[in-house]
Amino acid sequence: MKRKRPNILLFTTDQHRGDHLGIAGHPVLETPNLDSLIGHGAYFPNAYTEIPSTTGARRCLLGGQASHACGLVGYAAVEWHERNTLAQVLADAGYHCINVGWRNLHPPRKLYGFHIVIPHDLAIEADDYWEWLRREVGPNAHERGHGADANGWLGRPWHLDERYHPTTWTTDVTIEQITKRDPSRPFFVWCSHLRPHSPYDPPQFFWDMYIGRKLPEVPMGEWARRHDMPNPGLPRAAWHGRLTAAQLQRMRAAYMGLVTHIDYDFGRMMETLQRYVSRQELANTLIVFVSDHGDMQNDHCLLRKTYAYEGSARIPFLLRYPEGTALPCGTFPHVVGLQDVMPTILEAAGVDAPESVTGRSVLRAIRGEPWRPFIHGEHSPCYALEEAMHYLTDGKQKYIWFPATGQEQLFDLVRDRCEIHDLAGDLGHADELAGWRARLVELLARRGDGFSDGRRLLVRKEPWEAVVR
């Protein structure tokens, strides 16, 4: 008998560091529900975002495309004209496609192939969560009524009951939509949480889990002194500077609380669905858990995202196979990216990937088939021209190039995952540095957008757009 096509649950977070999972070895953070996926699935500790900010990263995710190929190389609130989005391809193949929560796609209510979209998109005209919150709590209720900034470093507990938190709402609405799905078709559901993106505001229970704990020391490389900035006086949405010990404790504890809140809600979702969806249907569901990028959390005196460093560029990436899948379970060292999510889902669904897809199904890596030697990421100028970058990594080393200054960095991720020691100026690593530079020269020369002439990397003194023209 032909096997029934699996359901797909894509469960995502925003600004979630790759090292902030229990399974990643974090010494304090608890994520028991997400960690358990490896029992019948796969974990990729060397997963990276091709564009470490939201709009570009989500194009990579939903188009199966690398940076530049997806039409963005940074952050820009512009319409996307890709016909073969993940949802559209699955809809054309007969899937019922539902999207709940944070999107940051433009214009906000454009379907992009989904049949149902219920957004939490931070705009009065396109935020079903805000509308619900005002209806439930009162006309003056607001997600940021506590005073913490949507891109800031302030940490504090959520100011309303836990049931009103956007994480709880996103989970509740996702459960509701799955129970109301078209039962004659397999479902593709994208449950997209805005947190742990700031504001760092977990419900009280999750704040209490971490605020009194001794947290790991914040990494600070010698090379990072240029990012230091005196405090008091640091703006609450600053992208660099040194927080005080108390500010740092509140921010980091609140961030961890948001991650654990999401983990508990994932567990709540799976338990609740067992009561409303048949065990067979739930077992025949591929679960993919990823984030779009990380959060520096003041590593190296940096805040927010857009950087090539581990806190910003490394992301969580976990799978749970549909029941009956004949694949090995465990941890896989291959370097993977957001562009690999779409072809992975399509292979599991038995659907051919469009020619526009540049990523690869990670199921190939799990089966032991040949895999890419490295992955490329980048970001156009955002906070400052000098911080725009390109990077390459194979999960063992990382090479970073800053086009505005010509500066290079090289890190040994095996011995120094926190990137304390920049090896670019070490003569003992000159050959390795030259090898990585040659790879980037070749890769960027094929694009023809002014970063390489095929022989050398070209310094760019003027800002360049995030949008690929």
Tell me which residue of 64, 8, 39 sits closest to 287, measured CA to CA.
Answer: 8
pLDDT averaged over every residue in the chain: 97
User: What is the domain partition of the chain in residue ranges?
Assistant: 7-373, 377-445
> What CATH number should be reported for the domain whose range is 7-373?
3.40.720.10
Please give the share of the chain, as a percent, with pLDDT higher than 90.
Answer: 95
Alpha-carbon dihedral sign for residues 290, 293, 297, 300: positive
Q: Spell out where 248-337 has E strands.
A: 285-291, 317-320, 330-331, 336-337
Four-point Cα dihedral 427, 433, 434, 439, nearest 10 = 180
Strand order in the sheet with 408-412: 375-379, 389-393, 397-401, 408-412
Tell me, what's the pLDDT at 148? Answer: 96
Give the amino acid at 234: L
Mean pLDDT of 35-64: 98
Tell me, what's the pLDDT at 123? Answer: 86
Please give the share of the chain, as a percent, with pLDDT higher than 70.
Answer: 99
CA dist., res. 52 & res. 36, Å (int): 27
- Cβ–Cβ contacts within 10 Å for residue 128, how many? 17
Residue-wise pLDDT for 204-230, tens only, equals 999 999 999 999 999 999 999 999 988
CA dist., res. 133 & res. 161, Å (int): 11
The burial of 434, by beta-carbon neighbours within 10 Å (0-12 exposed, 13-18 middle, 19 or more buried), is given as exposed
Q: Is the pLDDT of residue 2 over 70?
A: no
DSSP type of residue 284:
T
For residues 360-374, b (16+ Cβ closer than 10 Å) or e, as one string?
bbbbbbbeeeeeeeb
Pairing of strands 41-43, 330-331: parallel
Mean pLDDT of 130-155: 97
Tell me, what's the pLDDT at 3? Answer: 66
Torsion angles phi and psi, residue 281, rounded to 5: -65, -45
Q: Is the pLDDT of residue 394 over 90?
A: yes
Residue with tokens 């073969």: 84
pLDDT band at 232 (very low <50, low <70, confident <90, very high): confident
Taking a C-beta distance cutoff of 8 angstroms, is the pair 447, 68 a contact? yes
Q: Is the pLDDT of residue 231 over 90?
A: no
pLDDT band at 1 (very low <50, low <70, confident <90, very high): very low
Measured between alpha carbons, how far is residue 410 from residues 158, 163, 352, 425, 456 in Å? 40, 46, 38, 9, 17
Residue-wise pLDDT for 247-280, tens only, equals 999 999 999 999 999 999 999 999 999 988 888 8
> What CATH number should be reported for the domain whose range is 377-445?
3.30.1120
Confidence (pTM): 0.98
